[in-house]
Amino acid sequence: MDLHGHRVIYRTIGTGPPLVLVHGMVNSSRHWKAVAERLAEEYTVIAPDLLGHGDSAKPEGDYSLGAHAAGIRDLLAALGVDRATMVGHSLGGGVAMQFFYQFPERCQRLILISSGGLGREVSLPLRLAALPGAEPALALVASRWLVAGLERAGEILRTRSAGASGLLRIVARALGSLGEPAARRAFLHTLRSVIGMRGQRVSARDRLYLLAAMPTLIVWGERDRTIPLAHGSRAHAEAPGSRFATIPGSGHFPNLDQPAALAGILREFLQTTTPARLDAGGWSDLLASRRGAAS
């Protein structure tokens, strides 16, 4: 689809209520394939490639969470989808939360998977990549020979250590997407909008009380080394009425290493909750509830 003069790619499968899957940094809609196929019998799954990612355009421009959220709003409007359940992984979790904050009337439920925006801590490689002058180093680690070497190592380890093999293949896939200069520029614009050397720069924790009116599920891999599991458990404690689930043996990418388990958790949540329907009056009431509590 052409939106605002830019090519935007989305993938869709299934029939039923709309379910939007938002990928993480240096990922794409393709990373949702195994989860989407498991949910397609009951839901219309829509998975966009965010601008600067996957097969979508990579223009110079705004790569903030708000810009990504607005882009999803426009994509859904063009598809004739007024309201949907939003699912976000990692960076996509931040985008999904921003979508809810900017367009609450369009959000039916919110599902956050190993989400960014819930604490400062984040892995050292991401913090280093946010440093000024990181472009040449990024070009080196995204070179074809290094990516090919990681892929070969992942294949060699497949029979010896499934976990290490899977991690190497995930890293190779992510670096492979940064082979072109435009892709690297878009990645750095996106990264630096949310992460600095000291960690994550954007936090949604001061607005988690707003989720009192939104069915919310927080999911985390118990072996996540990119964003700490503690971020999820703390957000669950601070988001009224939220549910929290962990996936044993999974790292930062449960959509890749445990898609069946993740799809099962999502399905159970979707089947046992009622979609929210917020309007301007409901939003005002939520804001007033916090002001009243503070006074």
Please give the positions annotated as active site. 90, 224, 252
Which residue, chain included where needed, has tokens 């931040």? 94
Helices 181-194, 91-102: axis angle to 10 degrees equals: 60
Q: Which long-range contacts (CB under 8 A, 24 or more apart) does 126-133 make?
A: 126/25, 126/191, 126/195, 126/226, 127/195, 127/196, 127/197, 127/198, 127/199, 128/197, 129/188, 129/191, 129/195, 130/188, 130/191, 130/192, 130/195, 130/196, 130/197, 131/197
Eight-state DSSP code of residue 269? H
Q: Give the dihedral sign, CA 223/250/126/118.
A: negative
Residues ≥6 apart with Cβ < 8 Å to 180? 58
Residues ≥6 apart with Cβ < 8 Å to 259? 34, 35, 38
Q: Are 130 and 195 in contact (CB under 8 A)?
A: yes
The two tokens of residue 182 are: 């435009």
